[in-house]
Amino acid sequence: MTVECMPEPFTLRFGTLEIDLQRYRVLLGGRPLVLPYREYALLVYLAGRLGQVVPKRQLLEEGLGRHDPGGLRMVDEHIRHLKGVLERDGRVFIEEVGAAGYRFEPAQSVTPN
């Protein structure tokens, strides 16, 4: 899979997923996704670290700008919802890496049951 910048300088594209950083808009397969701000912020943060495992605490503090200890559970809940929205078309974009954190890896496919 190739990752390319669109002609517009603030759009990231990962296959069928487009993240427009200037307009705060996410498209999946050409259809707009409605994401709460925190989930959008987590998606942008992870997409900016393509292939890297990002610890939950780092997502909380740098991705969301929060420092409360109970926030790690909040990160898990937002990521779980975000994964559910993104995986509707059969692609996995965010992978949980045990207790280490999460990785944005858009090249994976979900096998139908």
In this predicted model, what pLDDT tens digit does every residue of 26-35 receive, in sequence order? 999 999 999 9
Is residue 72 pLDDT above 50, yes or no? yes
Phi–psi pair at 35, nearest 5 degrees: -120, 135
pTM of this structure? 0.84
98 or 110, which is more confident? 98
**Model pLDDT, residue 89:** 72
Cα separation, 83 vs 1, in Å, equals: 19
Give the model confidence (pLDDT) of 36-56 as tens digits. Answer: 999 999 999 999 999 999 999
Write the single-letter amino acid at 63.
Answer: G
Q: Which domains does the chain have, with CATH numbers?
A: 3-109 (1.10.10.10)
Cα separation, 87 vs 80, in Å, equals: 11
92 pLDDT band, cuts 50/70/90, is confident
Tokens, residue 108: 């994976």
**Model pLDDT, residue 66:** 86
Give the model confidence (pLDDT) of 1-14 as tens digits. Answer: 555 554 556 889 99
- Helix ranges (DSSP H) in 1-113: 37-47, 56-58, 71-86
Task: Report, in angstroms and rounded to the nearest whole number, the Rg of the chain calculated over CA atoms.
Answer: 14
Mean pLDDT of 12-33: 93
Tokens, residue 33: 């996704």
Sheet with 101-109, edge to edge strand ranges: 53-54, 101-109, 91-97
